[in-house]
Structure 1
């Protein structure tokens, strides 16, 4: 048991030493290294979920402006989808296509129909 406590204390010090000051406060009162890692996982998963929600909102609120080249708008949408994919969230091509077509201005209705 003594050996475990010694190794756990050493692991906790490594964890605390590797954290930024802004994150350190959220784990400094947790006793075990396992508890610290659980708290960090919870903290970063919450931030990832928030970032994911922001990007999804950007995708669904992105509407093409009059005068914007179609290619620029489509590339902006593709970049947003790629950002989500880098967070581990992927959509099928059909869904992406439908979202992009829906975001186009009225002049491009023929593309939506075909």
Structure 2
């Protein structure tokens, strides 16, 4: 019981005053459950919005390819932080599919010659390619 009280006090000391008020009469286990209930829904919504933005991302005509790839990498990294990391192959496919039709020769050449490249190498090739 003493350890549980110590953990509860430590948890209360590390949260905002608003959360302290909400959880002051709870034990550590109940606090954890309540915090999970509060924040899991927010994380789920953030994952949904991030994945939607990633899967709908298409390069705009006239925009620099480097900026486009960096934007997509940001979405990919955000999903990883949310606990939903994409495998490199899928991330690469998403980036290649998001490029303009004028990049088709590059994509074809890449798929034929660069099958075993790492994700970092793939993004370097895409950002440094010429249509």
Q: TM-score, normalised by structure 1?
A: 0.73
How many residues get paired?
A: 109
| Aligned match for 1:67, one of 62, 66, 75 | 62
Instruction: Give 5+ residue unaligned stretches, structure 1.
Output: none
Does residue 101 of structure 1 match 2:79? no
Bigger shift: 51-60 or 79-88?
Answer: 79-88
CA deviation after TM superposition for structure 1 residue 8, in Å: 4.6
More deviation, 84-93/53-62: 84-93
The SS at the match of 1:19 is coil
Counterpart-to-counterpart distance in 1, 2:22 and 2:107: 49
Going from structure 1 to structure 2, the CA distance change for 1:24 and 1:58 (only over 3 Å counts) comes to farther
CA distance in 1, matches of 2:73, 2:63: 16
| Aligned match for 2:86, one of 81, 88, 91 | 91
2:46 aligned residue (46, 51, 59):
51
Q: TM-score of the superposition, structure 2-length normalised?
A: 0.66
How far off its partner does 1:56 sit? 0.7
**Structure 2: unaligned runs, 5 residues or longer:** 110-131
Q: CA RMSD in A?
A: 2.4
